[in-house]
Chains A and B, each alone.
Chain A
Amino acid sequence: QKEVEQNSGPLSVPEGAIASLNCTYSDRGSQSFFWYRQYSGKSPELIMFIYSNGDKEDGRFTAQLNKASQYVSLLIRDSQPSDSATYLCAVPYYGGSQGNLIFGKGTKLSVKP
């Protein structure tokens, strides 16, 4: 059974700082990884997808993947109060299904003005 681990937080950073969110996964065969953002009471929305080792940047967001260490992270530069949300790491599972997602518990981020 695949497992995805995240620190539940809360992680508190001041406005303008870099927020670093971490995720580890158990299945060495996992190929790709997703970061979802979930505002309180709302549905998850995809913000980053990464499948190659190294960094992937999209605006203020950078995903970092290290398959040897089974570690994926999300960096948010110039954090804004509007970034305050729970960030969910997910990997696809291809057992009997066609790629349902296995989610971590999520890390709650709070950006203080």
Chain B
Amino acid sequence: GAGVSQSPRYKVAKRGQDVALRCDPISGHVSLFWYQQALGQGPEFLTYFQNEAQLDKSGLPSDRFFAERPEGSVSTLKIQRTQQEDSAVYLCASSLEGGASGVSSSYNEQFFGPGTRLTVL
């Protein structure tokens, strides 16, 4: 079946422009995560949705970052007034339910999309 898809795959923005990044999770997956991955670093958590509810946005670096998932499927990450430090790969991941679990032998695997590489000039 289809995996997680993201669009666009590449985005070049001039400093100060607004951008919108889209994520299509695996059909039926309840949980959706956004991560930011800078060059040479591991992914860093931005925000989490369970269906349409944004349950955690503690990782969003500033109020210029905004995410939504209005119908509990597709999600959009919007960055306003982009800055050079926003340049990174933005990864979306979905899981069937809950998060990574791990309190027992079970786990909810997070499936990652291909990412959107954002370059801010």
A residues near B (Cβ < 8 Å) are 4, 6, 8, 31-34, 42-46, 49, 51-52, 88, 90-106
Cβ-defined contact, B107 with A88, below 8 A: no
B residues near A (Cβ < 8 Å) are 4, 31, 33, 35, 40-45, 48, 50, 55-56, 58-59, 91, 98-105, 107-110, 112-115
Cβ-defined contact, A99 with B40, below 8 A: no
**A44 — which chain B residues lie within 8 A by C-beta?**
43, 91, 112
Q: Most chain-B CB neighbours within 10 Å: which of A34, A45, A90, A100? A: A100
Cβ-defined contact, A101 with B56, below 8 A: no
Indicate which residue in B42, B45, B110, B114 contacts A93 across the interface (CB closer than 8 Å).
B45
**B33 — which chain A residues lie within 8 A by C-beta?**
100-101
**A106 — which chain B residues lie within 8 A by C-beta?**
41-42
Indicate which residue in B44, B99, B114 contacts A103 across the interface (CB closer than 8 Å).
B44
Shortest distance in angstroms between A93's beta carbon and chain B's nearest beta carbon?
7
**A95 — which chain B residues lie within 8 A by C-beta?**
56, 58
Shortest distance in angstroms between A4's beta carbon and chain B's nearest beta carbon?
8
**A102 — which chain B residues lie within 8 A by C-beta?**
45
In the complex, the chain B residue whose C-beta lies closest to that of A4 is B42
Shortest distance in angstroms between B10's beta carbon and chain A's nearest beta carbon?
11
Shortest distance in angstroms between B55's beta carbon and chain A's nearest beta carbon?
6
Shortest distance in angstroms between A61's beta carbon and chain B's nearest beta carbon?
16
**B108 — which chain A residues lie within 8 A by C-beta?**
99
Known: A44-B112, A46-B110, A51-B104. A96 touches B99 (CB 8 A): no
Cβ-defined contact, A98 with B103, below 8 A: no
Cβ-defined contact, A101 with B105, below 8 A: no
**A103 — which chain B residues lie within 8 A by C-beta?**
42-44
- Bound together, the chains give a CA A35 to CA B113 distance in angstroms of 17
Residue contacts A-B, CB under 8 angstroms, 11 given: A33-B102, A34-B107, A43-B114, A90-B100, A92-B100, A92-B101, A92-B102, A100-B45, A100-B99, A101-B45, A101-B100
